[in-house]
Amino acid sequence: MEQESATATMHMNPRIERDRRMLLDARAKGRGATFKAFLRLSGPGWLQSGITLGGGSLSSCLYLGTLVGFSFLWLQPIAMILGIVMLSAIAYVALSTGRRPFGAINEHVNPVLGWGWLLAAMMANMIWSMPQFGLGIAAIRQNLLPGLLGPDAMPEMRGKILAACCFVACATAGSMLYGLGGWGQRAFEMLVRGLVTFVVLCFLGVVVKLTAEGILDWGKVLAGFVPDLGLLSRPADGFAGALGAVASRFRGFWSDLIVGQQRDVMIGGVAAAVGINMTFMLPYSMLRKGWDRDFR
């Protein structure tokens, strides 16, 4: 009864019916029109992208690049593909059934799994937020407002507290804006879309600049996209010189240490690509918008 009532409410929403009609008309026109229609309704996807471009992905990718250079570039597209497949499956099931995943798992699988998923997602949100605050505070104090909140402008602790308050205020305002629905939700999605696009363009600008200056070796970059599973059991080639300079009786220790760090960073990079908090939030963000089977 509750599900039927919610479905009826969704169908009475003129915005949802307008989006539904747009999708149905686009499907009748062909793939090009359908792609454009889905692009217009890609708000939840941009929200997931904003979460993915976080401190976890940044730190794992930076450390991986520092550790092994270009050797593990192939790991990034694999992690992206795995994430797309998993989130697509979750979204398809949620839109097909129209049910909240937490209740569906508790009913059809096991309540232990459902509650474990919920608690793990909540813990992941807490852990995920910590590096974001660190990055945000550092960006405010060192890059955006160094003359106002930077180390030279005020004491360290006071500057961090004020920067953290600014960060919390922006995050709270964004959450409240998204919770309003309607124009607030659209404004928030446009903001996230703009921020994600800006970040991607910044990274692209760095690549163009390094290429123009001749710093980037594209031969090594392209070679890094060739999968090499042997790096799971041996150090990357860049360590050959350093390991060769170590006495033979100590070489095994350092080799095992490097291989262990390579594995840890690989796992961290894949895990940061799609976190468990994203698997929980994506279906709820789509159901919150009133989407159903027609929006698959």
What does the pLDDT look like over 237-249, one tens digit per residue?
A: 778 888 888 888 8
pLDDT of residue 8: 44
From the list 284, 203, 220, 206, the residue with the least C-alpha distance to 69 is 220
Which residues in the chain come in under a pLDDT of 50?
A: 1-10
Q: Look up the pTM and report it.
A: 0.68
pLDDT of residue 55: 66
Share the mean pLDDT of the chain.
Answer: 80
Distances, alpha carbon 136 to alpha carbons 164, 165, 247, in Å: 8, 11, 44
pLDDT of residue 3: 47
Distances, alpha carbon 79 to alpha carbons 136, 214, 262, 273, in Å: 25, 29, 16, 6
